[in-house]
C-alpha cells in the first residue's frame, strides 16, 4: 500500500476512536473466588472469625479464625492470639496459637510463631522465629472402621510370610 502526502495529513487530523465505557457489575452478584477481606492495622477483633473468602490481616485478632476452604495471610503488622484454620496459611507477623493448613503453611522470615503447625506441606524461611511442633502427616482418605466381634481380621500376606519363616526356623 502506498501513501500519498494528502492521506497522511488527513489521518493526523482524525480524532482517536474512544471505546465505550464498560457496564458496572451489579451488586447482587456473589463475590468471586479472588476476593480478599482485609483487616487493617487499626482493627482489633475479639472472638471467632469465619467467612467465605480469603483473608489478609494487618490488625489484631484474639479468638479463633476458621476459614477452612480459604487462604489466610498474616501481614507484617498482624498480631494474632488464635488458632487458625485455613487452606493455605502464610505468616509474616506474630501468631500465638496452632495453625491448621489443609494444603500448606508458610512462615516468612519476618514471622514469629508460638504454636504447633499441622499441614501436609510446611515451609519455614531462614530467619523465621518458630517455637512449637510440626505435624506433616496426611489425613487418611477413609477412617478405619472398628472391628465387631463377628468380623474376622484379615492380615496382609507380608504378615503371613513372616510367620511361616519363624515356624520354619524352629523345625
List all residues 6 or more positions away from 78 whose beta carbon is below 8 Å from its beta carbon: 39, 57, 58, 59, 60, 61, 91, 92, 93, 94, 95
Query: Domain map of the chain by residue range?
Result: 35-133
Q: What is the Cα–Cα distance from 73 to 108, expressed in whole angstroms?
A: 11
The pTM of the whole model exceeds 0.75: no
Of residues 136 and 156, which shows the higher confidence score? 136
List residues bridging with 55 in a β-sheet.
Answer: 37, 72
Instruction: State the DSSP H helix or E strand holding residue 31, giving kind and residue range, or none if neither.
Output: none
Give the 3-state DSSP-derived string for 70-126, with helices as H, strands as E and coil as C: CCEEECCCCEEEEEEEEEEEEECCEEECCEEEEEEEEECCCCEEECCEECCEEEECC
98 is written with which cell numbers? 496452632
85 pLDDT above the threshold of 90: yes
pLDDT (mean) for 9-31: 48
pLDDT for 13 equals: 53
DSSP, res 43: -
Mean pLDDT of the chain: 78
Amino acid at each position: 500500500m502506498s501513501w500519498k502526502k494528502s492521506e497522511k495529513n488527513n489521518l493526523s487530523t482524525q480524532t482517536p476512536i474512544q471505546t465505550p465505557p464498560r457496564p458496572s457489575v451489579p451488586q447482587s452478584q456473589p463475590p468471586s473466588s479472588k476476593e480478599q477481606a482485609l483487616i487493617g492495622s487499626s482493627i482489633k477483633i475479639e472472638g471467632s472469625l469465619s467467612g467465605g473468602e480469603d483473608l489478609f490481616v494487618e490488625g489484631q485478632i484474639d479468638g479463633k479464625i476458621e476459614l477452612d476452604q480459604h487462604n489466610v495471610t498474616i501481614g507484617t503488622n498482624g498480631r494474632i492470639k488464635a488458632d487458625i484454620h485455613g487452606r493455605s496459611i502464610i505468616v509474616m507477623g506474630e501468631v500465638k496459637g496452632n495453625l491448621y493448613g489443609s494444603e500448606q503453611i508458610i512462615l516468612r522470615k519476618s514471622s514469629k510463631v508460638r504454636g504447633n503447625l499441622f499441614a501436609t506441606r510446611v515451609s519455614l524461611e531462614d530467619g523465621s522465629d518458630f517455637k512449637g511442633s510440626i505435624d506433616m502427616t496426611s489425613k487418611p482418605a477413609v477412617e478405619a472402621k472398628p472391628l465387631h466381634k463377628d468380623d474376622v481380621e484379615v492380615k496382609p500376606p507380608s504378615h503371613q510370610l513372616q510367620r511361616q519363616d519363624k515356624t520354619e526356623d524352629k523345625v
